[in-house]
Amino acid sequence: MDVLECIRTRRSVRTFDETPLTPEDAAAVLSFAEKLETPYDIPITWKLLDAKRQGLKSPVIVGTDTFIAGKMPRVPHAEEAFGYAFEKVVLFAESRGIGTTWIAGTMDRPAFERAMDLRDGEVMPCVSPLGYPARKMSMRETIMRKGVKADARLPFETLFFSGSFDTPLSPEAAGTLFDALEAVRLGPSAVNKQPWRAVVCGDTVHFYEKHNKALRWRTLNWRPRRAGFPLR
């Protein structure tokens, strides 16, 4: 499957059909993750976790016991490196018909961190369930998606600019950058806040984060201090 097609078809899956992940799919996802090179060369340790056996819970996930998680040293740029690698794993899973959801908040974080054998100086930013999507979403998932307008994204012109923040960039004016910027626009984000903004200046694209006080407040209050994955 073409990567842009995967980006277009992917959605968060929180309701699975109870079929255990096949050993082939489990091995393929883990081996894909382990071979990934990350920006800034920051190593990530990946593990497949068994929720039932290891006593792990995410209140929003039903119908699968398999999760994937990664941990890494808490160093500058760890967030970017992890985000890049985790989304690649998510898109690889999508190409095999395996459902995923980035989970940073709605999980029993201490239990997941224990299962990952998280040490001081390490961070486990997110986990994801792995499984086969159920035909019908749970009521909770349907309500969650409506609550964050998960099927919608901000318009291209709201996210991307030309030269400075004074001039919105239209899809037509993006030219050869259109596919890359559209891929950014369609990406998943916490609470679907889509915090990225980009200004195209000649052959350089400058990326910015639009801060969100409410999200920061919730993030900081959902997580034990030790887990800290600062959303500045």
Ligand X SMILES: Cc1cc2nc3c(=O)[nH]c(=O)nc-3n(C[C@H](O)[C@H](O)[C@H](O)COP(=O)(O)O)c2cc1C
Among 36, 148, 174, 183, binds ligand X (CB under 6 A): 148
Site string for ligand X, 5-24 (x = CB under 6 A): ------xx------------
Nearer to ligand X, 168 or 188 (CB): 188
Integer Rg of the chain from CA:
18
Nearest alpha carbon to residue 125 among 148, 102, 150: 102
Residue bearing tokens 């639009």: 210
DSSP at 78: H
Residues 210, 214, 217, 221, CA torsion sign: negative
Nearest alpha carbon to residue 218 among 150, 114, 148: 148
- In angstroms, the Cα distances linking 46 to 11, 34, 231 are 22, 7, 22
Nearer to ligand X, 60 or 62 (CB): 60
**Interaction residues for ligand X, span 47-66 (CB under 6 A):** 60
Nearer to ligand X, 99 or 199 (CB): 99
Q: Least separation, in Å, of the C-beta of 102 and ligand X?
A: 4
Stretch that binds ligand X, among 91-99, 128-136, 164-172, 190-198 (CB under 6 A): 190-198
Nearer to ligand X, 51 or 190 (CB): 190
Question: CA 14 to CA 131: how far, in whole Å?
Answer: 9
Among 93, 101, 112, 169, binds ligand X (CB under 6 A): 101
Query: Counting contacts by CB under 6 A, is residue 212 touching ligand X?
Result: no
Question: CA 136 to CA 10: how far, in whole Å?
Answer: 16
- Asked if 209 and 232 count as a contact pair (C-beta separation under 8 A), the reply is yes
Nearer to ligand X, 169 or 190 (CB): 190
Question: CA 92 to CA 6: how far, in whole Å?
Answer: 8
Q: Least separation, in Å, of the C-beta of 193 and ligand X?
A: 9
Binding site for ligand X (CB under 6 A): 11-12, 60, 101-106, 126, 148, 150, 188-192
